[in-house]
Amino acid sequence: MDAQYLRDYRDLYESHWWWRSRESLLTQVVQDLAAQRPLTRILDVGCGDGLFFPALARFGEPYGVEPSSEALSPDGPWRSRIVNGRLDDSYQPLAPFDLLLALDVIEHLDDPHTFLAHVRRLIVPGGFFVATVPAFRGLWTSHDALNRHVTRFTQAEISALVRAHGFTVVRAQYFFVLLALAKLAVRGVETLLRPPPRAPRTPPAVVNATLMAICRAEQALIADRQPWFGSSVLLVAQAER
């Protein structure tokens, strides 16, 4: 990830409409899963400084894996629960997890199959895997380059990837529908003008609040429906018993 982006990430996560809207959606997803079975141990892969941990701690004990040392604060409140490294053979927790999250992680990987094999070994039978990924390669913009994405996924592609590693897909759904239309416009502008990638900034308060309200209204309207497109995919899967 871009160095400036990393430095600003906490502020973006805590204030920007996109991150706030995504956390709202994901917290509801985790709450629904917790109603089905206890989520005693939760692993957030690519967790940064544990910014989602306060929400996750409502449902179980959160732990994390974060490959970038620059994303971690030595004195962060969750630092003792986060391993600085990759999800590979070297990661050997004391016990498997009831829920594992990979939120906007898989699109960074050259070998997602190896990653999913590790995910499966770390989840108890019947446990859950939740992932988000950016949707549709046709929505590729300079933001993807800035974030060092390898690809973007369709709903069918990420579902097939997960099924190949011993999971049953419970839910696969596009979200940020209106944002997908905005990304199409941005892609058109970038094709013509080719501006340099720029790290995102939180917009002015009124704009930020308006966009957040629109996103949350969209999420409420969509609920369990299946929109045909969106700028991201939400996937919920269950480890086969």
pLDDT of 193 reads 85
Per-residue HEC secondary structure of the chain comes to: CCHHHHHHHHHHHHHCHHHHHHHHHHHHHHHHHHCCCCCCEEEEECCCCCCCHHHHCCCCEEEEEECCHHHCCCCCCCHHHEEECCCCCCCCCCCCEEEEEEECCHHHCCCHHHHHHHHHHCEEEEEEEEEEEEECHHHCCHHHHHCCCCCCECHHHHHHHHHCCCEEEEEEEEECHHHHHHHHHHHHHHHHHCCCCCCCCCCCHHHHHHHHHHHHHHHHHHCCCCCCCCCEEEEEEEECC
Give the contacts of 130 (CB within 8 A, at least 6 positions apart). 26, 29, 30, 33, 99, 100, 101, 102, 103, 234, 235, 236, 237
How many CB atoms are closer than 10 A to CB 39? 22
Domain with residues 3-239, CATH architecture = 3-Layer(aba) Sandwich (3.40)
pLDDT of 3 reads 63
| Sole residue written with tokens 């992680």 | 105
One digit per residue, the tens of pLDDT, for the chain of length 241 reads 666 677 788 899 999 999 999 999 999 999 999 999 999 999 999 999 999 999 999 999 999 999 999 899 999 999 999 999 999 999 999 999 999 999 999 999 999 999 999 999 999 999 999 999 999 999 999 999 999 999 999 999 999 999 999 999 999 999 999 999 999 999 999 888 888 878 889 999 999 999 999 999 999 999 888 999 999 999 999 999 8
Instruction: Using DSSP bridges, classify how beta strands 82-84 and 61-66 pair: parallel, antiparallel or unpaired.
Output: parallel
pTM of the entire predicted model: 0.95
Measured CA to CA, the distance from residue 31 to residue 37 in angstroms comes to: 10
- 99 near 204, Cβ under 8 Å? no
Angle, in degrees to the nearest 10, between helices 205-222 and 17-34: 30
CA 157, 162, 166, 172 dihedral sign is: negative
pLDDT of 129 reads 98
Q: Write the pLDDT tens digit of every residue in 194-230.
A: 888 788 899 999 999 999 999 999 999 998 889 999 9
